[in-house]
Amino acid sequence: MPIYVSAPNKTEFMVNLVELMVEYNGTLPGSNIPNAVVGDGAFWTLAVGMLAMGLATDPAQVLKYLKKPVGPLIGMLCQFVIMPCLAMIFLSAASIGTYEALVIMLYGCAPGGGISNIIIYYMGGDLDLSIAMTMLSCVLALGLTPAWLQVVPLMVDSKEEITIPFEEIGTTLAAVIVPALIGSFINWLGQRYNFRKIVKIANIFLAGAASLTVIAIVIIGIYKYYLTAIITVSQLVYATFLPFFGFGIASLLSFSVIKLLGKCGKDFKFDTLQHMTIGVETAVQNGRMVNAITLVLYSAKEKLYENSSTFFFPIIAISFQIVFGFVLIAFLRIPFFRNKIARKEEKDFGMKNIAFTEN
């Protein structure tokens, strides 16, 4: 896999591409795999995954979070202020080209996606809070994500105009919200008409299928596109550390805000896993939306250089999101840490896995 210290210019890229075509006799590995396997496959996997998450979601609890949105508002502050600012700091510190800057900034100000919900589901976090945050961030993203992208030309001293494909943003976000709502409604029906066991079985099956399919699509995407992708050290560093930085900052901010509210006489109760849920939802961005936008902007043949500069980064980012998820889930499944969290909840609240309340 070619990894550049800094992105090559257009001429250097075309020379390298010609050399690759000669080396592989005109047919690059993976070129026989249809683009739809990665693009459409990711879309439908996202939809199925969110349906599975909805099946494990209590609509009443989600509504409760939205009515008293302390947790979601902390998450939105992290999602649309802190994460974009981290992206801007990185763009200022590293040597980044215009198209790399676009995709990095887009990733930094993207809303939460399906992978965050899946990670929270398997780590035993507060899925109701996660879904509430995802829905709210998807609505806000329609205005805030395009607004943040206007910063990109200023950060890289470029006069290139960035066109925002609102239709693609809306379609991708609908793939998150609509299946989650449908799944949540089915879960409500299951509780009301006593077929909860069937809902639970469907939830386990669909969640597992979506998780495995995401991993498979990432592997296929890497195989199909890695030879023609412009991958820089800066992209790898950013994709590697952003989930961990975002998680740490958001979790700490959540803990601090709840403590501060307590000092002010507002008794909002959050357990450790709820703080971590806000951290995960902030840290794991909607890579599918980033991919969809860049693909629309630079899918034309005459924009091969631009496409190669942007298309592969979401695959890298999603790969490290999955690594982050595995690390966090493995950490929380270690009996010592799990029991320590449970003991802290019992000490603070007098019970385990307490739901969000305001007294």
Q: pLDDT grade, residue 7 (50/70/90)?
A: confident
pTM: 0.85
Give the pLDDT confidence score for residue 205 in this predicted structure: 94
Quick check: is 354 in a domain? Answer: no
Give the pLDDT confidence score for residue 171 in this predicted structure: 78
The percentage of the chain sitting over the pLDDT mark of 90, rounded to a whole number, equals 25
Structural domains counted in the chain: 1
Quick check: is 26 in a domain? Answer: no
Quick check: is 12 in a domain? Answer: no
Quick check: is 352 in a domain? Answer: no
- Tell me the average pLDDT across 188-202: 91
Does residue 95 or residue 49 have the better pLDDT?
49
For 99-111, the pLDDT digits (tens) are: 788 888 888 888 8
For 302-324, the pLDDT digits (tens) are: 778 888 888 888 888 889 999 99
Quick check: is 255 in a domain? Answer: yes
Quick check: is 93 in a domain? Answer: yes
Residue 359, pLDDT > 60, answer no
Give the pLDDT confidence score for residue 199 in this predicted structure: 92
Give the pLDDT confidence score for residue 3 in this predicted structure: 81
Give the pLDDT confidence score for residue 353 in this predicted structure: 44
- Tell me the average pLDDT across 112-141: 88
Residue 358, pLDDT > 60, answer no
Other beta carbons within 10 angstroms of residue 282's beta carbon come to 31
For 289-298, the pLDDT digits (tens) are: 777 677 666 6
Give the pLDDT confidence score for residue 356 in this predicted structure: 38
- Structural domain for 308, as ranges: 35-344
Burial (Cβ within 10 Å: 0-12, 13-18, ≥19) of residue 263: exposed
Give the pLDDT confidence score for residue 325 in this predicted structure: 92
Q: pLDDT grade, residue 349 (50/70/90)?
A: low
Q: CA-to-CA distance for 71 and 67, rounded, in angstroms?
A: 11
Q: What are phi and psi of 270, to 5 degrees?
A: -125, 135
Average pLDDT, the chain: 82
CA distances from 67 to 62, 71, 98, 263 (A): 9, 11, 41, 22
Query: Domain containing 270 — which CATH number?
Result: 1.20.1530.20
For 227-272, the pLDDT digits (tens) are: 888 888 888 888 999 899 999 999 999 999 888 887 886 767 788 8
Residue 3's H or E segment, with its range, is strand 3-4
Q: What is the token pair recorded at 256?
A: 């601090």
DSSP output for 76-120: HHIIIIIHHHHHHHHHHHS---HHHHHHHHHHHT--B-HHHHHHH
Quick check: is 10 in a domain? Answer: no
Burial (Cβ within 10 Å: 0-12, 13-18, ≥19) of residue 222: middle
Q: What are phi and psi of 41, to 5 degrees?
A: -60, -45
Q: pLDDT grade, residue 345 (50/70/90)?
A: low
Quick check: is 9 in a domain? Answer: no
- Tell me the average pLDDT across 158-180: 74
Give the pLDDT confidence score for residue 156 in this predicted structure: 60
